[in-house]
Structure 1
Amino acid sequence: MLPAVTMGEPVVMQVYCRVEVVVDDQAAVAELAVQRLGDAEIDWSREQDTVEDAVAELRTDLVQALASVVDPERMLDGVPGVQVRRGRWWAERGEPSARFQPGFTPPGS
């Protein structure tokens, strides 16, 4: 049974998620990442890299490009009374890390 929650009192929760993604068009992912980078109102004078360096990295590094277009805030977009405050996400190539195995079975199993 869930503990009683006082009405109007916010509850902080953690949401854990692992998603397997199959990329069929690496160039499309890279171009979307580049587009979003351009839309991101970054003050490049305060960054170590230049915009050209960042664009080149996104076009050559699928892991970076995919991670840059993931938007955890959209996962709960439109859910009344819910606000995403922070998160941590990344992308990796290959098979899932052992730390994310519980509760998942490989396709075809």
Structure 2
Amino acid sequence: MSHYLGELLVWEIEDYLRARSARPERARVARIRVPDRPAAETVAADLEAGGSFYAAARRAMALGMTLPDDLFGVVTRDEHPEVFEAVPGTTLPPKREGEGFLIIRLVAFEP
């Protein structure tokens, strides 16, 4: 049994290394778009306190702090290169984008 588990671990490591060397160009993300820095800081504080991304998005929507946008989407390396330096599950700090701020959580890289 332990030999089998060892082989699984090796396969997972190989998959991870292959994904890191493949340099994906697209990533699935969750995002919250807010109009100003105070709203971005409020959402970021919720997330840093251990709240779920979805719960923080719902709370921000209920408080009228969000701008229209889809909660889930796909971004490219050209649009958001910082996403591609993170690991899935990472929430990036609020970033100014257009008239507001964007908070992104990396969900997964696309092949």
Q: Same fold (TM over 0.5)?
A: no
TM-score, normalization: structure 1?
A: 0.25
* Structure whose residues are more often strand by fraction: 2
Query: What TM-score do the two structures reach when normalised by structure 2?
Result: 0.24
Structure (1 or 2) with the greater helix fraction? 2
Q: Quick one: higher RCO (CA 8 Å, sep 6+), 1 or 2?
A: 2
